[in-house]
Chains A and B, each alone.
Chain A
Amino acid sequence: EVQLVESGGGLIQPGGSLRLSCAASGFTVSSNYMSWVRQAPGKGLEWVSVIYSGGSTYYADSVKGRFTISRDNSKNTLYLQMNSLRAEDTAVYYCAREGYCSGGSCYSRVHGYWGQGTLVTVSS
């Protein structure tokens, strides 16, 4: 069974740094595309970043240059290093495993499995 458990959220001052973790079980992180998606309070979903199985990484313009996605294969864990945090980064951050397969067909670029999320609050 696919399970994703995020941790590392909390209250941080503007300009500070925080690292989120997403511990995976039931599959291998390094063999899959993995994303971070966030949701500001009362707002919609916003894609943040993706890391492909080959190691390529991509970011939303809103976080480019400030956030870094990575993974630790030995721990089967995904990370999001967030630097220079701003009030507008306040959100619940979800990790998601990309892709969904059923009946012999597989689809990519779909957030097939989600964690429960971790709240990041940026405030002084």
Chain B
Amino acid sequence: QSVLTQPPSVSGAPGQRVTISCTGSSSNIGAGYDVHWYQQLPGTAPKLLIYGNSNRPSGVPDRFSGSKSGTSASLAITGLQAEDEADYYCQSYDSSLSYVFGTGTKVTVL
């Protein structure tokens, strides 16, 4: 089954902007299915961060934003903070009737 591709790691200094890419295919993101993002802090369960490509659940700071274009999506974190150090996963749906996750990206705050 398909997997979405993310960079293994990204890093930035406090206050900087970082972006995480999520590359899919014509059977998932490119087929028009929404992309969602999850944040997983060390030792905890994943938490919904962005849904429907670009929407934030209540309580998620507006420094997190998402976008989608073609067969890819991206997550941006502006004004990076120490508490943003975590693993981030994108997720979509595939025409094979399965859910697909990204490979995951570790964000390090320098």
Which secondary structure dominates chain A's binding surface? strand
A45-B46 contact in complex given A58-B97, A100-B57, C-beta closer than 8 Å? yes
Q: In chain B between 75 and 89, which residues have their CB closer than 8 angstroms to a CB of chain A?
A: 87, 89
**Distance of A116 Cα from B47 Cα, bound (Å):** 10
**Distance of A106 Cα from B101 Cα, bound (Å):** 20
Binds B, one of A8-16, A24-32, A76-84, A107-115: A107-115
B91 touching A111, Cβ below 8 Å:
yes
State how many angstroms separate the Cβ of A24 from the closest Cβ of chain B.
Answer: 15
State how many angstroms separate the Cβ of B37 from the closest Cβ of chain A.
Answer: 10
**Distance of A28 Cα from B29 Cα, bound (Å):** 30
Residues of A within 8 A of B104 (CB): 44-45
Q: How many A residues touch the partner, as a band? A: 20 to 34
Say yes or no for B66: interface residue by CB 8 A criterion: no
Q: Within the complex, which residue of A46, A94, A105, A111 is in contact with B36, where a contact is CB–CB below 8 Å?
A: A111
Give the most central of A37, A109, A116: most B CB within 10 Å. Answer: A109
B34 touching A45, Cβ below 8 Å:
no
B38 touching A45, Cβ below 8 Å:
yes
A47 touching B98, Cβ below 8 Å:
yes
State how many angstroms separate the Cβ of A10 from the closest Cβ of chain B.
Answer: 19
Residues of chain A at the chain B interface (Cβ within 8 Å): 35, 37, 44-47, 50, 58, 60-61, 94, 100, 102, 105, 107, 109-117
